Amino acid sequence: MRWLKQKLKKVYLVERLYRYCQHIIKRDIHSGVTCSHVCKDFVRFIKKRSNADCILCENKPFPILIYKNLLEYLSVHDDFICMTVLDYVSNKIDKERINVVLRHDLDSGCSEVLKLLCNTEKKLNIRSSVHVLMDKSCYDATAMKPLLLDLYRDGFDIGLHTVAWMYENYADMFMRESAMFAEILGFSPKTLSIHGAWPRSDVDMERRKIFESQLRLDLLLKDTSFIGYNGHYDWASEDSRHMGKDVPLKNSFLTGFENCYRGDVCILLTHDNGWA
C-alpha cells in the first residue's frame, strides 16, 4: 500500500511538471512575459498540494454555499479574474492572472436555480455566461424570457447552447436555433457552446467532431452575430455529469485552478439542475 501511494505521488508530480512545461511553451514563450511573471508561476509550481480528490457531495442538489465560497475565494485573490465566454472569445485575457470563465448551461430550464447562481455572482460584482437550449426537447425558452432579459440588461452574457450537431443537416439546424433565439429574446446571440447530449452513437460523435471543427474555422459563423467559438480551456471544472450520468461533486471542482498559471484560461461550468 505504501509503495502504491509513493507511485501515485510520482505520477502526480510528473503530471504537474508536464502541465507546467506545457504552459511555458504554449503561453509564456509567445507572450513576452516578465521575469516577475515567471517567478510567480514557478512559486505556484513548487507549492505543495494534495493530489487527493475527495467527494464533497454525493448527490444533487449541491448546496449553493459551495459555489458562493469558491467565487469569494476567486474574487479576493489577485491571482484570478472571473469573466464571461464573451470576454474570452473577444480575447480579453489577462496575461498576468488566471482567467476563470463562468458558464451556466441551461439543460433543464430551471429558473429558480439560475436565479440562485446569478444572484450569488451579482453580490460579488461578477458576471457569467448563460447558455440556452432552443430545440424545445427539454424546455421552452419562452417561459424563461423575463429572467433572461433581466440578466442580459444586468450585464450577463446570454448565449446559445446548441444541439445542431445531433442532426444530419446540422448547418440548417444551427441557423434555425440562432433565428429562434433572436425571435424569442429580441437580440442575437454572440456566444455559443455545444450541448453534450447523451446517448451518442459513433455516427453522432463523428458528426460532432466535424461540427466543432467547422465552428473553430468560422465556417458556420460567417454572416452571423457570433463573435467566435473557442472550446479549448487549460482547465475545466464541471459540477454534474459525466457521459450522461450524474456524478458526485469532488474537491477538484474547488481546487483544480491551483494547478493553473498566469495567462491560462479555465472554465467553471455549472448547470441549472445541480444546485439548491
- Residue owning grid cell 512575459: 33
pLDDT of residue 5: 46
Residue 213 has pLDDT above 80, yes or no: yes
Q: What are residue 262's phi and psi, to 5 degrees?
A: -60, 130
Going by C-alpha positions, the residue among 172, 170, 223 that lies closest to residue 194 is 170
Please state whether the peptide bond connecting residue 61 to the residue before it is cis, i.e. omega within 30 degrees of 0: yes
pLDDT, greater one: 242 or 145: 145
For strands 129-132 and 157-162, give the pairing. Answer: parallel
Confidence of residue 4 (pLDDT cuts 50, 70, 90): very low
122: helix, strand or coil: helix
Could you tell me which residue, 17 or 272, shows the higher pLDDT? 272
Mean pLDDT to the nearest integer, 56-60: 86
Label the pairing between strands 129-132 and 98-106.
Answer: parallel
Question: Over the range 27-54, which residues count as b (16 or more CB within 10 Å of their CB) and which as e?
Answer: bbeeeebeeebeebbeebbeeeeeeeee
Higher-confidence residue of 16 and 150: namely 150
> In this structure, are residues 147 and 130 in contact, taking their beta carbons and an 8 Å threshold?
no
CA nearest 233: which of 39, 71, 26?
26
pLDDT digits (tens, 9 = 90+) for 69-121: 999 999 999 999 999 999 999 999 999 999 999 999 999 999 999 999 999 99
27-31, 254-258, 263-267 — most confident range: 263-267
Q: Does pTM surpass 0.75?
A: yes
Domains of the chain, CATH where assigned = 1-51 (no CATH), 57-271 (3.20.20)
**What letter represents residue 149's amino acid?**
L
> Residue 20: what pLDDT?
72
Task: Identify whether the C-beta of residue 99 lies closer than 8 Å to the C-beta of residue 262.
Answer: no
Q: Does residue 3 register a pLDDT over 60? A: no
Separation CA 55–CA 45 (nearest Å): 24
pLDDT digits (tens, 9 = 90+) for 5-24: 454 455 566 777 777 777 77
CA–CA dist 267, 234 (Å, integer) = 8
Task: Give percent of the chain above pLDDT 90.
Answer: 62
**What is the distance between the alpha carbons of residues 180 and 168, in angstroms, rounded to a whole number?**
19
Alpha-carbon distance 99 to 267, whole Å?
8
Task: Give the pLDDT score at 169.
Answer: 96
Q: How confident is the model at residue 270 (pLDDT cuts 50, 70, 90)?
A: very high
pLDDT of residue 52: 61
Tell me the pLDDT tens digit for each residue of 168-205: 999 999 999 999 999 999 999 999 999 987 778 899 99
Whole-number pLDDT of residue 267: 96
